[in-house]
Amino acid sequence: MNLSGKHILLGVSGGIAAYKSCELLRLLQKRGAEVRVCMTEAATQFVAPLTFASLSKCPVYLKNGAAEARPFQHIDFPRWADIYLVVPATANVIGKFAFGIADDPVSLCFMSCNCERFIAPAMNVAMYNSPAVKRNLEMLRGFEKTHVMESPAGFLACGEVGQGRLLEPAQIVEYLEDTSYELRDTNDELRVTSGYQVGEIADDVIEKNGRKVLITAGRTEEAIDPVRYISNRSSGKTAVALSAVFLANGYDVEVVAGPMEAQFPGGVQVTKVRSACDMHDAVMERLADADVVIHCAAVADYRPANPANEKIKDSRSQLTIELVPNPNILRGCAAARREGRAKEGQTLIGFALETDHFEEHAREKFEKSGADALLLNAPVAADSGFGHDSVRFALVEHGKPIPPMEMGSKVSLAETILRFCSEKIDAQRESI
């Protein structure tokens, strides 16, 4: 379908994914479409109507109206539209569509429009897999001129993993441009679109691809005495994002985790450790089975040479602690791979957290590491890094200049690593 010149009515309902509809609107405009917007009252709690009015250059159809709104929008907007696109479609509006309830702008427009209607569901996996939602979606698939897009599995806003994630705006545009568009079966090939596997997934079961990823997570704690230790502020959120993204793409995910606050999604096998030496031993024991190894943990570089067996008393005198180096787990894995003690074709990813001279320090660490790629990250911007959901990062690869660091979510960081690993695995497969 050529979108140029098309009139598209965009219905936005009240889910956290509503913010993505702003990007979708701009993508549709870039294709030459004219877009108007209607919103449920709940949607206005996520994105201000003024945002959509400014982007579309048309008053938004709201339940309580707007001073500049035209009358009879529930009739005029659907008659004007060539396409009615509901993004995101929550369980609530899907139920209204199925049973003919029209008590808000989005459901009123669905009821009165006679054009092609496209619905992009987005909700928690438990809701998506509920019998009621499944029944309602099946009913809508039987409606004339109604197209229901499949929701891919992925890392959801609530922190869980499963089906119910909104298709990315670019994927929705692709769907519209190809009216025969179908989500591919991914039994034989991993498809990566915005980092997630897109395919038919039965219920809440994510189809496995036979690959395994081993991830180190959290921080390590190096004992000074029975109650004190040397450590850092890593929360483990990056490792959780990595686990969720790889899990959603069919990998078996095993994690060796030091102390951390973030919680892993179900389906991840976790081995808990405390010190760097413990983490080193646990990783080496599991190295031979992993197709991908990601060293995400914030491992202490040093440990006390002689930790005390009893609590050190506060004598108010100067205390000197002798430190010795911890094993470098990343370099140890690279050495094991060179010596044939790791799985053939294994992909090895390291992390470099830097606070200054970013490129210089990252390049030096990369050259010494023996890794296939290094994720440079810098927790120096406000509201980013330790304990936050965003971070500045760039992927360092062999033979390529280091790209400028970008601010992004830790999920987008994980998607970047997944994309690199998938491309490397595909290249190895083609060379066989």
pTM of the predicted structure, to 2 decimals: 0.56
The predicted model gives 59-69 an average pLDDT of 69
Write the pLDDT tens digit of every residue in 222-249: 999 999 999 998 889 899 889 988 988 8
Enzyme catalytic residues: 158
Percentage of the residues of the chain whose pLDDT score is greater than 70: 87
Contact in structure between 218 and 298 (CB atoms under 8 Å): yes
pLDDT at 58 over 70: yes
* Per-residue confidence (pLDDT) for residue 307, from 0 to 100: 94
Burial of 94 from C-beta contacts in 10 A (0-12 / 13-18 / 19+): buried
Averaged pLDDT of the chain: 85
Q: What is the per-residue pLDDT for 381?
A: 53
Give the DSSP H or E segment for 408: strand 406-409
Q: Which residues pair with 219 in a beta bridge?
A: 298
List, edge to edge, every strand of the sheet that includes 252-257.
Answer: 269-272, 252-257, 212-217, 292-295, 347-353, 373-378, 390-397, 406-409
**In angstroms, what is the C-alpha Rg of the chain?**
25
224-257: buried (b, 16+ CB within 10 Å) or exposed (e) per residue?
Answer: beeebbbbeebbbbbbbbbbbbbbbbbbbbbbbb
Contact between 108 and 92 (Cβ < 8 Å): no
* pLDDT for position 179: 55
pLDDT of amino acid 191: 29
Burial class (CB in 10 A: 0-12, 13-18, 19+), 142: exposed
Examine the pLDDT at 348 and tell me if it is beyond 90: yes
- pLDDT tens for 390-421 read 788 999 999 899 988 888 888 889 989 999 99
List the domains of the chain with CATH numbers. Answer: 7-197 (3.40.50.1950), 212-309+320-431 (3.40.50.10300)
- Which tokens is 122 given? 């987005």
